[in-house]
Structures are given as C-alpha cells and as structure tokens.
Amino acid sequence: MIDTQLPFIDLHRHLEGCVRLETMLALAEQHSLQLPGNTVDALHPHVVLAGPQADLVGFLDRLKWMIFVLRDPDACRRIAYECVQDSAAEGLDYLELRFSPLFMAQPHGLNPADVTAAVIDGAKAAERDFGLTTRLIGIMSRTFGPESCLAELEALLEHRHELRALDLAGDEARWPGELYYEHFKRGRDAGWQVTVHAGEAGGAANVRYAIEHLGATRIGHGIRAIDDPSLIELIAHRGIGLEVNLTSNLQTNTVQTLTTHPLASFLQNNLLASINTDDPIISGIDLHYEFHEAAPTAGITPALAKRAQENALATAFLSPSERQTILQRKAAKQSPTP
C-alpha cells in the first residue's frame, strides 16, 4: 500500500502523543514523579489506547501522563529528539511535528517560550543526527481559552523563524475557531502557514470558518466536511489539504467504523487528503499501520493510497525548492550509488 517511489510523509503528528514509555519512566525516576505504573507493562494500559474512547476529550486525557514527566526544558528537548529519531527509524522521508508549548509547560509551571526553544533544539539535533527533514508547527491549545492562547502565541512568536505554521487543537466542541480570529491574524502576519483542527469533534461550519476566516490552507481531520457539499466544493476549489488520521478518528469516536470513514470519498473527489498518525504512541500505531491496516479497512485502494502520498507532498508546508530536495533525496535512496 505504500509506494516506495514516493516520499513517506507524516504531516500530522503531535509531539505530546509520541513520548516513549521508557523515557516516561526514566524522567519520572530522575525527577521523583509518580506515574500509574513503574514498568513499561504496568504503564502501558494507562497511556496506550486499547479501543475507542467516549469522545475526543476522553482521548486527550491520555496525553496527561506524557506531559506530566516534563519537569524541565531538558525533558522537552529529549522527547523532541527521540520523536524525530523514532520517526526516522520508521522510514519517514519528511515529518511535520506539532506541539503546544503551554500544554507541555502546564503540569510543572515551565515557561512556554523555554519549552518552545527546547523542542526546536531537540528536533534540530535529531534532524542533523538522523537525516530526517523536519518542520515544526506551533499549536495553541484552545481548551485554555483565548487569553491563555494569546500568551502561548507570544511564546511561539519568540521563535517565529523556527516554526512553519500555527495550529489550533484541543476541545473543538467547546472552543470554536471564532474565538481565535485575532490570534491567527497575528500568526499569518508573522509569515506562518495555517492549519486548524476542525470538523473532528465539531461540525462542517468549523471547517468553513477555519478556511474563510482563519486563513487555513490545511485542516486537521476535516471529517465533518462530508456533511456539506458546498464546503467540499470550496475545499476542492482552494486546494485545501485535509490531514486525515484514521485510527485516531476511530478512537475518538469521530467515526463509528473505518468502513464509513469519508477518506475514500475525499480522495475519489480529488481533495488533497493525506494519511497521517496524530498521536502514534497513544494510539498504538505508526504510519505503516495506517497505510497497511487502517487504510484498506477504510476502503482505500493502492491507487488511492498513492494519491494520498502525492497529496501529502503537495500540501506539505515546504517551499518548491525544499519539496524538490525531498524528491531528490528519495530518488537517491532508491538508487544507491555503486
């Protein structure tokens, strides 16, 4: 299901959802923090999902143990480094990694700007060490409210040149995009691209608002767009990228079954939808699983999977020359020099 001629890309991966369990244990020991288990096996059921949760909030609750071990900026640097390292080992050719500095800072009262600096530093070091091209996306955690998100935005803006895009994540049902209009205006003025979590726990109107008013050129999930034919037309017309995460959608009850997931319909209608992981360790998956197991269950044929790979490259937050470099490096990997 994976076309090995095309770059293998994840555009939607949360740093806070890919912390190694071994690292959680090591950080907990280092800082005398109490986790619900002292071994990987004992910790596993508290962190990794075995089945669907009641809703998105139930899913997000799992993240709390992963951020609980972030006692200092060094810990933030370490998890960023290891996430890029693990993504390289997974065989990715390009990664867009996103994180919310306020969410990460919150359990132990860290400074969100320090968290941002540490994540950037860790990701860059791993990019150098493991050769995986990585770009970072700053998230505002909508669940903290517009005022706190303004502080989070300030922390991200201190490092504006190291970030590619601004995102909004968290409890979509209670905190709609309308509350964050000014935030995204400032983000766009800073030269960032925009992607917004929408149409996951909320309806099609949230997707439309993100595109028409927040300047989103990509949407995280966008599943409920399927309910509004005129919105599907808008997404097609504007070439909006849809970052789809199949297993995550099942686990958050965004879809009841993968067989009814709209991804196949998106791809058949030539929307620029891609296949991504969201929170690989929480979900107990990787991108191979999403292509080989989840996608076929969702009715994705090899031809549609190839289109999803092409769409990921087309909608990546890269300049044309950076995109070309990703392609050239992939081609070089395919034909090793004698």
Least separation in angstroms between residue 260's CB and Zn ion is: 20
Considering beta carbons, is residue 276 or 311 the nearer one to Zn ion? 276
> Using CA atoms, how far apart are residues 149 and 147, in angstroms rounded to an integer?
5
Least separation in angstroms between residue 289's CB and Zn ion is: 17
Across the chain, which distance is largest between two alpha carbons, in Å?
58
Q: Do β-strands 272-275 and 165-169 pair in parallel, antiparallel, or remain unpaired?
A: unpaired
Considering beta carbons, is residue 198 or 298 the nearer one to Zn ion? 198
User: How many residues does the structure list for the chain?
Assistant: 338
Of these residues, 16, 96, 152, 200, which one is catalytic? Answer: 200
Known catalytic membership, residue 200: yes
> Using CA atoms, how far apart are residues 133 and 324, in angstroms rounded to an integer?
12
Residues 230-249, interacting with Zn ion (CB under 5 A): none
Number of other CB atoms surrounding residue 259 within 10 Å: 10
Residue 183 neighbours by CB under 8 Å, 6+ apart: 140, 146, 149, 150, 153, 166, 168
Quick one: which of 9, 6, 5 has its CA closest to 288? 9
| Inter-axis angle of helices 73-89 and 21-30, nearest 10 | 160
Least separation in angstroms between residue 53's CB and Zn ion is: 14
Least separation in angstroms between residue 303's CB and Zn ion is: 27
Considering beta carbons, is residue 122 or 220 the nearer one to Zn ion? 220
Within 87-227, strands assigned E span 94-99, 133-141, 165-169, 193-198, 218-221
Q: Where are the alpha helices (DSSP H) in 48-145?
A: 56-60, 63-68, 73-89, 101-105, 112-130
Query: What is the CA 107 to chain-centroid distance, rounded?
Result: 21
Least separation in angstroms between residue 99's CB and Zn ion is: 11
Least separation in angstroms between residue 222's CB and Zn ion is: 11
Tell me the residue nearest to Zn ion as measured from the CB: 278
Least separation in angstroms between residue 123's CB and Zn ion is: 17
Considering beta carbons, is residue 278 or 290 the nearer one to Zn ion? 278
Considering beta carbons, is residue 138 or 220 the nearer one to Zn ion? 220
Considering beta carbons, is residue 48 or 327 the nearer one to Zn ion? 48
Residues 259-278, interacting with Zn ion (CB under 5 A): 278
Residues 214-233, interacting with Zn ion (CB under 5 A): 220
Which residues share a beta bridge with 165?
137, 193
> Using CA atoms, how far apart are residues 2 and 291, in angstroms rounded to an integer?
7
Residues 157-216, interacting with Zn ion (CB under 5 A): none
Residues 210/219, Cβ–Cβ less than 8 Å:
yes
What are the distances in angstroms from CA 105 to CA 113, 227, 239, 280?
9, 37, 35, 21
Number of other CB atoms surrounding residue 243 within 10 Å: 27
Mask: binding to Zn ion, 278-297, rule CB under 5 A, as x and -?
A: x-------------------
Considering beta carbons, is residue 224 or 330 the nearer one to Zn ion? 224
Q: How many residues bind Zn ion (CB under 5 A)?
A: 2
Residues marked as catalytic: 200
Q: Which residues bind Zn ion (CB under 5 A)?
A: 220, 278
